[in-house]
Amino acid sequence: AAFDDHKADVILRSSNNVDFRCYKVLLSFASTFFDGMFSLPQPNGADSDGDAMKDGLHVVPM
C-alpha cells in the first residue's frame, strides 16, 4: 500500500491519526521546511518533551 513502506525512515501523522511512512530525503528535496527540520539534531528516542515514536521511527504530527 502507498505510504506503508517498511524501509521508510520517518512517519508523518495526520490530524485524524493516519500514519504515512515517508523518506526524509524525498521530503527534504520537496520542501525547505522539511529540509530544515531534518537537518536539526534528532533525539535518540521518545523523551519527556513528548517526541512520539512508532516502530523505532520518529512521528511528526501534522
8-23: pLDDT as tens digits: 999 999 999 999 999 9
Write the secondary structure of 3-62 as one string of H (helix), E (strand) and C (coil).
Answer: CCCCCCCEEEECCCCCEEEECHHHHHHHCHHHHHHHHCCCCCCCCCCCCCEECCEEEEEC
- The number of folded domains in the chain is 1
Per the structure, the complete domain to which residue 5 belongs is given by 1-42+52-62
Residue 47 forms part of a structural domain: no
pLDDT on residue 49: 57
CA distances from 27 to 4, 10, 55 (A): 15, 10, 20
Q: Is 59 among the domain residues?
A: yes
Quickly tell me which residue has 527534504 as its cell.
Answer: 28
Q: What is the mean pLDDT of the chain?
A: 89
